[in-house]
């Protein structure tokens, strides 16, 4: 019986390319926290028709986000679970925390079409230097792959990789345009330069060094309430 | 057993000769003149939306193969490579939907430079699919200690409908559109062994669209 159950479970370790986003850099030095659940995210589900599925997407997802955040922010540093101490926040402007809220997939036998599809709901939260929440956003990534071209495990792998890419694309393009992020960038800009120019436009990457040099001369802030998860 | 083997040999010899009829139609509409230098390339991208339809990757690969061979080959850049290099701007939900959006896209940091670095001149969006529109008949196969065989006949009719929208990345305009429609019925006849008579409308649409695309790009300068 155990052997029978084993044979009805399809295991997929998701693997795929990790493209580097070509987007405007958010001029901030961010700590990035990946929870253990995010790092080792697995999904298990049993369908009456197609049996059990065990999908391990943690490693691919982590690689993808490590590459994404490296391109998205001027500087990044992986940090432990918040709260962070004042000393730990000294060289950081804020903390970025991605998490997976939901993962789901559908097979052709369920959908009645020739495609496998997958979806991932991400939640990304951003906190400023003193631990106040800048904002949090839910982003859903979708992916699908042709059933005919792949075996079922390859097709789920491909659909999941596409879903990660889709979610990542939305984060890469849309995060910088979020009003809360723009307001945060503007407030940081104004705190360094009281006579700053018009709001609403992210500073260019060339400005980062100048901002950092001003920050480094600041007295460290007394932070007792760093980001909470 | 000997008659069965003889039948099998006959069938194997005849199989390549048996193909169903395909009716195809190619149409073209041109908005502006075109031309391509030897160092320039084209990218073929399959349109993918999040409904149940999607251009098959095998179809765009088929067009790429046809364009890349022959007396007048055109350099084709693979869609996976292009999408990775331009990530996240050519994903299903972020890709420009009209040539008018190219101007905005080219203002994004690094995009214009990245496209120029691989000398991509044209971008062709391939949209469409092959569907089975009718099927019928019946065939049954049996096997026993005295031998086996298949008897009956089944058929299925497929319709392949694709179009290519061609954008010139140099002028950032739409240069025209080509459509290919092909229809054919395949049969599977069971005469002891199953004999397929396959119509391949997808293949016919691919070759028709690719050859027309080549003429479209190099034909009028």
Give the pLDDT confidence of B152-163 residue by residue, as tens digits.
999 999 999 999
Is pLDDT at B87 greater than 60 in this prediction? yes
CATH topology of domain A26-193: Double Stranded RNA Binding Domain (3.30.160)
DSSP state of B68: T
In tens, the pLDDT along B192-217 reads 888 899 999 999 999 999 999 999 99
- Tell whether the model's pLDDT for residue A123 goes beyond 60: yes
What is the SS3 assignment for B107? Answer: coil
Contact A172 B88 (CB under 8 A): yes
pLDDT surpasses 80 at A208: no
- List, in order, residues 6 or more apart from B61 with CB less than 8 Å away: none
B54 touches chain A (CB under 8 A): yes
pLDDT on residue A49: 74
Is the pTM higher than 0.90? The answer reads no
Distance CA A138, CA A21 (A): 20
Question: Tell me, what's the pLDDT at A191?
Answer: 72
Q: What count of CB pairs under 8 Å joins A to B?
A: 62
For residue B18, what pLDDT is reported?
64
Task: Report domain extents, chain A.
Answer: 26-193
Per-residue model confidence as pLDDT tens digits over A73-111: 999 999 999 999 999 999 999 999 999 999 999 988 877
Q: Establish if B118 touches chain A: CB-CB under 8 angstroms.
A: no
Residue contact B56–A146, C-beta within 8 A = yes
Residue A227 confidence class, pLDDT cut points 50, 70, 90: very low
**Inter-chain touch B93–A23, beta carbons under 8 Å:** no
- What's residue A221's pLDDT? 36
Domain hosting residue B159, numbered range: 2-219
Residue B108 burial class via C-beta count within 10 angstroms: exposed 0-12, middle 13-18, buried 19 and up? middle
Structure ipTM over 0.85, yes or no: no
Is B57 touching A (CB cutoff 8 A)? yes
- Chain B residues with beta carbon closer than 8 angstroms to that of A142: 50, 92-93
Span B99-105, mean pLDDT? 93
Region B54-67 average pLDDT: 92
Tell me what the mean pLDDT of segment B110-132 comes to. 94
What pLDDT was estimated at residue B54? 75
Q: State the Cα–Cα distance between residues B120 and B116, nearest whole angstrom.
A: 6
**Cβ neighbours of B92 in A, within 8 Å:** 142, 162, 166
Confirm or reject contact between B16 and chain A (CB < 8 A): no
pLDDT range class, residue A205, cuts 50, 70, 90: very low
DSSP character string of B75-87: EEE-HHHHHHHTT
CA–CA gap between residue A115 and residue B138 (Å, rounded): 27
What is the reported pLDDT for A192?
Answer: 63
User: Per-residue confidence at B141, pLDDT binned at 50, 70, 90?
Assistant: confident
Of A124-133, B56-65, B141-150, the poorest mean pLDDT is in: B141-150
- In the beta sheet, which residues pair with residue B128? B162
pLDDT of residue B182: 97
Mean pLDDT score of chain A, rounded to an integer? 83
Q: Which candidate from A24, A115, A162 shows the least CB-CB separation from B109?
A: A24
Identity of the highest mean pLDDT range in A25-29, A206-210, B67-71: A25-29
**Contact flag B87-A113 (C-beta cutoff 8 Å):** no
Q: Cβ of B114 and A22 within 8 Å?
A: yes
State the total domains in chain B.
1
């Amino acid at each position: 019986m155990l052997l029978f159950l084993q044979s009805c479970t399809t295991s997929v370790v998701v693997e795929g390319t990790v493209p580097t986003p070509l987007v405007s850099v958010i001029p901030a030095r961010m700590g990035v926290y990946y929870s253990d659940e995010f790092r080792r995210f697995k999904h298990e589900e049993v369908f009456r028709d197609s049996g059990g599925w065990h999908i391990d997407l943690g490693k691919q997802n982590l690689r993808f986000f490590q590459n994404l955040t490296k391109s998205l922010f001027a500087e990044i540093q992986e940090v432990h679970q918040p709260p962070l101490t004042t000393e730990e926040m000294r060289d950081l402007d804020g903390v970025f925390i991605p998490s997976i809220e939901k993962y789901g997939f559908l097979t052709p036998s369920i959908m009645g079409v020739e495609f496998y599809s997958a979806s991932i709901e991400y939640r990304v939260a951003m906190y400023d230097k003193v631990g106040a929440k800048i904002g949090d956003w839910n982003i859903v990534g979708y992916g699908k792959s042709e059933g005919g071209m792949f075996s079922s495990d390859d097709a789920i792998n491909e659909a999941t990789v596409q879903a990660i890419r889709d979610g990542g694309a939305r984060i890469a393009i849309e995060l910088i345009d979020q009003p809360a992020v723009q307001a945060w960038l503007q407030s940081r800009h104004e705190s360094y330069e009281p006579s700053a120019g018009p709001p609403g436009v992210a500073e260019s990457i060339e400005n980062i060094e100048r901002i950092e040099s001003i920050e480094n001369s600041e007295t460290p802030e007394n932070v007792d309430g760093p980001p909470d998860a | 057993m000997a008659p069965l083997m003889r039948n099998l040999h006959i069938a194997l010899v005849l199989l390549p000769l048996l193909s169903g009829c395909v009716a195809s139609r190619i149409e073209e509409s041109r908005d502006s003149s075109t031309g391509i230098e030897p160092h320039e390339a084209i990218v073929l991208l399959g349109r993918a939306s999040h409904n149940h339809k999607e251009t098959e990757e095998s179809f765009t690969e088929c067009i790429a193969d046809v364009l890349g061979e022959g007396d007048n080959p055109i350099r084709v850049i693979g869609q996976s490579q292009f999408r990775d290099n331009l990530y996240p701007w050519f994903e299903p939900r972020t890709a420009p939907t009209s040539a008018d959006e190219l101007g905005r896209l080219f203002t994004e940091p690094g995009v214009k430079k990245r496209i120029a670095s691989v000398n991509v001149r044209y971008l062709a969006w391939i949209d469409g699919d092959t569907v089975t529109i009718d099927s019928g008949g019946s065939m049954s196969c049996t096997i026993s200690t005295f031998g086996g065989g298949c008897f009956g006949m089944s058929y299925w009719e497929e319709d392949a409908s694709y179009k290519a929208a061609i954008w010139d990345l140099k002028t950032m305009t739409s240069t025209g559109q080509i459509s290919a429609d092909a229809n054919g019925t395949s049969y599977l006849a069971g005469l002891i062994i199953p004999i397929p008579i396959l119509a391949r409308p997808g293949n016919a649409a691919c070759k028709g669209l690719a050859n027309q695309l080549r003429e479209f790009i190099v034909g009028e300068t």
